[in-house]
Structure 1
Amino acid sequence: MSKINIVHSSILILISLLVVNLVAHLTCFVAVAEELHFGRAAARLGMAQPPLSQRIQRLERELGTRLLDRSSRKVELTEPGRLLLREAREILFRVERVYSIADRSRQGSSLRVGVPSDLGGNVLAALITAFRERHPGTPLDLRPLATAEQVRALAEGTLDVGVLRHPTDTGGLDLGPMLAQPVGVLLPAASPWAAAPEVHLSDLAGSELVVFPRDEAPGVHDLVLDVCRRNGFEPAAVRQSPHPQFTLGLVLAGSAVAIAPRTDDSPGVVWRPLLGRPLTWQTSCAWRRGHELLAVIEDFTAAATRVLRTEAAMVPVGPAPRRRVVVHPASGFLA
């Protein structure tokens, strides 16, 4: 081995040791800063208290500033300590991501995808087939999750890409093309409007309305109720249904209607479009900004967009909204 290569190797080893040492110091600091108690922090880290105190002291010496005020009664963060805590958490999160990427690379992990639970069997089958054509060697881990659950999982890194319904919180996420799907109303076959080619929302006045639970997608839930009321449909009652079959049962009972995408008529119920198309489901793929599997995610997004346009009759709309959904406590509707 040449002298230059030996020097390079030595430098890399030294840098690795410094990084590992810094990560260990920061891990100890974050534990103490969050517990504000050396004993509890030592127990959390599975180490004795004296070595923990020594690590904090070494970190303070290396940084040239006091991070913690200690007394016999309590431990408090100094101002430099509060500033470092925010950065330390970010550094440790990035380090954990590096290990996670390496683990997934070694194991050939699947692409973890969240989809709405009511997406439909034919759409899911087409989605799997389209992705396999692009990435035959990448397993697809499809998970039926509500939009709110998908947003949380994307932020936590337990989901790679989600098929979201909007409006929802898209902070920190990149979005694929936005697609819109017109929705109509599912009616009992005995309804006086069952024979009409289209139904105005005001025609449904006095009926009960079946919608998905609000905690699944608060923005969409509130939007549905707002559009109904602005178009003259004040439901006699709002019933929440977590499953399409439960929704079907409530409509079959005769006193309720449901807002839903186009579906084939079943015995006892009919689907009719809404006059003027006052309401659409807006859907897009979403993923965490800077995701390490971006190339695979972009291929999935292209496949999903094509499938949703073909199988679910969705159409492109304007650019994806990059905003936070804010719910006014007084009204319950969107900002």
Structure 2
Amino acid sequence: MELRTLRYFVAVAEELHFGRAAARLHMSQPPLSRAIKQLEADVGAVLLLRSSAGVTLTPAGTVLLDEARTLLDQADRIRVRVAAAAGAATITVGILGDSSDRGAMRLATAYRRRHPGVEVRIREADLTDPTCGLRAGLVDIALTRAPFDETGLTVHQLRADPVGAVLRTDDPLAARHARHDGLQLADLADRRWFQFPDGTDPVWQSYWNGGEPREGPVVRAVQECLQAVLWNGTVGMIPLGHTPPEELTVVPLTDMAPSRVVAAWNEGDTNPLIQPFVRIATAAYR
């Protein structure tokens, strides 16, 4: 059994869906299906049951999942120890804006426990650079949010968060929150929205403006966005689950795509610390 094939199997076993697993592995579905069938032939047992209802693990698959995780974790430890022996036991992580995400907290704890010899350097970026310094070579990997221009980058989804509009509590539309109703982007068509400075990734700007050209005050950080709402009545945007000050209300947007939490790194980067970091992050954010 090759480690690569075991990684394929773990992805399918965790996602219980070949399409999602293929997207997570940055590959197409047919070669993934062939690899799993070959693995089943190699071990002489059916590992996954496929049906119209989805994918489920067989008893043999459950055993292999446990063993595969152990083997992959050991392989990651070997890579990290070799990197440390070669004098390369430092990884610089870019984090976007709000570093209080519980997934990031779990990741920090798990990574420190598994790789205590690695020095992790953190660079926090503002909202003007969703890649957190990747393109400038300032970080090895970014924990950030998509969408943005992915040219030259590998992007791995960790989680998807629904998004809401941030409004002043006395805004007439804020009553939708109390009634447990959501908003649609059309409800906010005539409102002023926050803007990022000139030169900001247009894909990123468009997403946070609901896909339409908008006008409003320029902000660089999450707190500046919230203050723009508080002082100017501007429409702000925030992933659900974040708690704003009591003067502000978050109303879910029912027709806006979720905000994807991702890990991103430069395509072809051979830094041996990146893949172990991504695997631990995948589990921490799940």
TM-score bin (small chain): 0.5 to 0.7
CA shift for structure 1 position 182: 1.6
1:194 & 1:226 partners in 2: Cα distance? 18
In structure 2, the CA distance between the partners of 1:193 and 1:137, relative to structure 1 (3 Å rule), is same
1:256 and 2:234 aligned: yes
Q: Measure the CA separation in 2 of the matches of 1:303 and 1:211.
A: 34
Bigger mean CA offset, 211-220 vs 264-273: 211-220
Tell me the amino acid that sits aligned with residue 248 of structure 2.
Answer: V
1:280: which partner in 2? 258
Contact 2:92 2:123 in 1 (8 A): yes
Going from structure 1 to structure 2, the CA distance change for 1:129 and 1:244 (only over 3 Å counts) comes to same
Call closer, same or farther: CA 1:260–1:212 in 2, change over 3 Å: farther
Amino acid at match of 1:210: F
Residues 1:169 and 2:143 aligned together: no
Unmatched 5+ stretches in structure 2: 1-81
Map of 1:147 onto structure 2: 130
Q: Which runs of 4+ in 1 moved over 4 A?
A: 102-108
**Which digits, 9 at most, give the CA deviation of each residue in 1:222-281, with x for residues without a partner?**
233352x3xxxx74x3222112222222111252110111221422101111123x2322
Scaled by the length of structure 2, the TM-score of the pair is: 0.59
Cα distance change, pair 251–267 in 1 and its aligned pair in 2 (3 A)? same
SS of the equivalent of 1:151 reads coil
Deviations 1:29-53 (A, max 9, x none): xxxxxxxxxxxxxxxxxxxxxxxxx
Match of 1:218 among 181, 194, 202: 202
Unpaired stretches in structure 1, ≥5 consecutive residues? 1-101, 310-335
The equivalent residue for 2:247 is: 268
Rate the CA distance shift 1:104–1:133 in 2: closer, same or farther, 3 A: closer
Equivalent residue, structure 2, for 1:205: 189
| Aligned amino acid, residue 187 of structure 2 | D
Instruction: State the one-letter code of the partner of 1:272.
Output: V
Q: CA separation of 1:218/1:266 partners in 2, compared to 1, >3 Å: closer, same or farther? A: same
Structural mapping, 1:183-202, within 5 Å: 183-196=163-176, 197=180, 198-202=182-186
The answer as to whether partners of 1:109 and 1:138 remain within 8 angstroms in 2 is: yes
Structure 2 partner of 1:57: none
Aligned residue for 1:182? Answer: 162
User: 1 CA distance for matches of 2:261 and 2:198?
Assistant: 17
Q: What is the alpha-carbon distance in structure 1 between the residues aligned to residue 219 and residue 284 of structure 2?
A: 26
**Pairs aligned (count):** 197
Name the CA distance, whole Å, in 2 between partners of 1:206 and 1:290: 44
Identity within the alignment, %: 26
Deviations 1:168-226 (A, max 9, x none): 33333333246422211111000112121211222223321124446444311123335
Seen in structure 2, the aligned counterparts of structure 1 residues 211 and 260 have a Cα distance that, compared at 3 Å, is farther
Which residue does the alignment assign to 2:27?
none
Larger of the two Rg values belongs to structure: 1
